[in-house]
Structure 1
Amino acid sequence: MNTSPPAPVAAATAAGRFPPAGVQAVVFDVVGTLVEPWPPVAVAYEQAALRHGIACEATTIAARFAAAWRRQEMVDAAAVPAFATSRAREVGRWRAIVADVFSDAPQSEAVFAELWEHFAAAAAWRPLAAGSELVHEALRAGTAVVLASNFDERLLTIAPRIEPLSLAGHVFASSELGWRKPAPEFFREVEARLGHEPGELLLVGDDLELDVAAARRAGWRSLQIG
């Protein structure tokens, strides 16, 4: 049996201890870093749509979803201030994405309502091995583990119900922070709530721009996995 740590963990620890010296808290992104949707998003959308009389293959849904996601990111980037958010904005984002995916079909509102509840359940998510191991590494080192995500406030109900999310001491969702990554205000708000300086925080995430680059611009350390 292979007992070697996952590649991202091995890479993170190869140059020294994880977390690095001086880090007071490891702040983890959530989706794509610690958990992933299961079944995959396109399959969940396909199944929900079929229950409401919409036939659309998962491959088509995946392409439409990616395009709809990009459109909503552009909306946030163009907002004043950029990447400000709220619970209402996050509900509106997902309603617009579902409507785009299903071409504004009359049933799309019912599909949206079902999918909103689906992804609010812990059963819709499964843990990712590499991120989970880094959570345990941080805890073994006696370092605080924090979640800070562009996920909305549904995260607050999911996190206590699934490992490794349940191991975090603090959980911050974009809609209650008032900002989405890559806004610098997202990072400033997390710092204020934790009471730490930027250099004392390490962001672990899967997205090169939203997680790694944005954290570094904010003065944090960062590590990409996934």
Structure 2
Amino acid sequence: MTLPPSVRCCLFDAVGTLICPCPPVGVAYREAARRYGCSLSGKEIGTRFRVAFRRQENLDAAAGGGATDEARERRRWQTIVAEVFDDLADTTALFDDLWAHFADPRHWRLFDDVAETWQALAAKGIRLGVASNFDARLRGVCAGLPSLDRCSSLFVSSELGVRKPSPDFFRRIEGALGLQSEQIALVGDDWDNDYLAAQAAGWRAIYLDRCSQPLSTAGSIQSLRALIGF
């Protein structure tokens, strides 16, 4: 699946599309929490994390509009940490440790199809960038990772003031890029926030589904290399 000629800029979601935490979230949470006396298993932490994370997503959806900022994103993660580790009387210090941990590019890695794909797309004259539901820490993470350290367009929800899947997320990026909707593509691994939302905004939407065999739907790819015909 190559990009159509009309696309002048290809943006990518960050976590799960370009990068993943290393070690995984559950491992990082377990190791950090042990220093504060938590005895939960990695499996239980993983389950609790998914529930707490989804609850925050649902709260945003219920509120409508998707408005956010740096303070909201920090509160989001404070609440998630507190819910995951409800066996601890005070999670303030643990949260601070985890916040700093995931701000460090050494604790993230690129998927192995990123560098090759970005190099090939850039050689074709396509502008590349990141569009993510994240906070300002993403700038430091990208600056510390090969390929992403040369990213010229980095759009972070906390700075845009709105999260995907809100239409305003996409409209504000169009304004910043000075491009029309049909000139922008978004590649992401979240069906609702990336694929359906970008499609609704009139962008070229591409769903990255690294796990399904066969592919889950038309418009899906299993590797970013598919964007360059490999």
Do they superpose with TM above 0.5?
A: yes
Aligned to 2:228: none
Pairwise CA distance, 1:39: 0.2
In the alignment, does 2:150 pair up with 1:164?
no
| Residue 188, structure 1, aligned to residue 165, structure 2 | no
Cα drift, residue 170 of structure 1:
1.1
Q: How many angstroms apart in 1 are the aligned matches of 2:119 and 2:42?
A: 35
Inter-partner Cα distance in structure 1 for 2:30 and 2:131 = 29
Task: Report the CA distance between 1:104 and its aligned residue.
Answer: 5.9
Provide the secondary structure at the position in 2 that maps to 1:75.
helix
Query: Secondary structure in 2 aligned to 1:145?
Result: strand
Deviates more, 1:31-40 or 1:137-146: 137-146
The equivalent of 2:83 in structure 1 is 100
Structure 1 unaligned runs (5+)? 1-11, 13-17
The structural deviation recorded for 1:27 is 0.6
Q: 1:57 aligns with which of 41, 45, 66?
A: 41
User: 1:72 maps to what in 2?
Assistant: 56
Is 2:18 the counterpart of 1:40? no
Indicate which of 204, 207, 210 corresponds to 2:187.
204
- For the residues of structure 1 that align with 2:108 and 2:133, how far apart are their CA atoms? 16
Determine helix, strand or coil for the equivalent of 2:154.
strand
Relative to the length of structure 2, the TM-score reads 0.87
| 1:121-200 correspondence runs (5 A) | 121-200=104-183
Runs of 4+ displaced beyond 6 Å: none
The unaligned stretches of length 5 or more in structure 2 are 211-230
| Distance in 2 between residues matched to 1:111 and 1:149, nearest whole Å | 25
How much does 1:51 deviate?
Answer: 1.2
Instruction: Tell me the residue number matched to 1:5.
Output: none
Work out the number of aligned pairs and report it: 209
TM-score, length-scaled by structure 1:
0.89
1:26 paired with 2:35, answer: no
